[in-house]
């Protein structure tokens, strides 16, 4: 039961993490037409939650939930391989995101 619960929590956190990134992609075409002042105002006022709440959720997903889930399923071969692949992909995405 604990494993199922942890798997569910990890999936929800992963979905929230990817959702915030996808929201930024969907907003990009409209934001490309804004002038610098409007763009700065919007980014400093509307997106507080993306940085604070979204960043916290992203950190918990990448550095806590996914690695712990990988550890919990280590003796279940098919699950372990897919979970490890997902954890590595999240870690690589985090590294690539912060290297830009």
Whether the pLDDT of residue 5 is over 90: the answer is: yes
Q: Using one digit for the tens of pLDDT, what is the confidence trace for 19-62?
A: 988 888 898 898 899 999 998 888 888 777 788 888 899 999 99
Q: How far apart are the C-alpha atoms of 63 and 91, rounded to whole Å?
A: 8
Residue 72, C-beta contacts closer than 8 angstroms, at least 6 positions apart: 2, 3, 6
pTM: 0.80
Averaged confidence pLDDT in the chain: 90
pLDDT at residue 100, as a whole number: 67
Per-residue pLDDT, averaged over 64-93, amounts to 94
3-state secondary structure the chain: CHHHHHHHHHHHHHHHHHHHHHHHHHHHHHHCCCCHHHHHHHHHHCCHHHHHHHHHHHHHHHHHHHHHHHHHCCCCHHHHHHHHHHHHHHHHHHHHHHHC
In this prediction, residue 68 has a pLDDT band, given cuts at 50, 70 and 90, of very high
């Amino acid at each position: 039961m604990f494993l199922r619960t942890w798997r569910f929590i990890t999936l929800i956190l992963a979905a929230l993490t990817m959702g915030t990134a996808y929201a930024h992609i969907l907003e990009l075409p409209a934001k490309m037409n804004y002038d610098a002042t409007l763009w700065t105002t919007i980014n400093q006022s509307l997106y507080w939650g993306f940085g604070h709440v979204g960043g916290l959720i992203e950190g918990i997903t990448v550095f806590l939930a996914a690695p712990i889930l990988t550890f919990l399923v280590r003796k279940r071969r098919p699950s372990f391989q897919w979970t490890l692949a997902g954890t590595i992909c999240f870690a690589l995405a985090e590294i690539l995101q912060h290297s830009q």
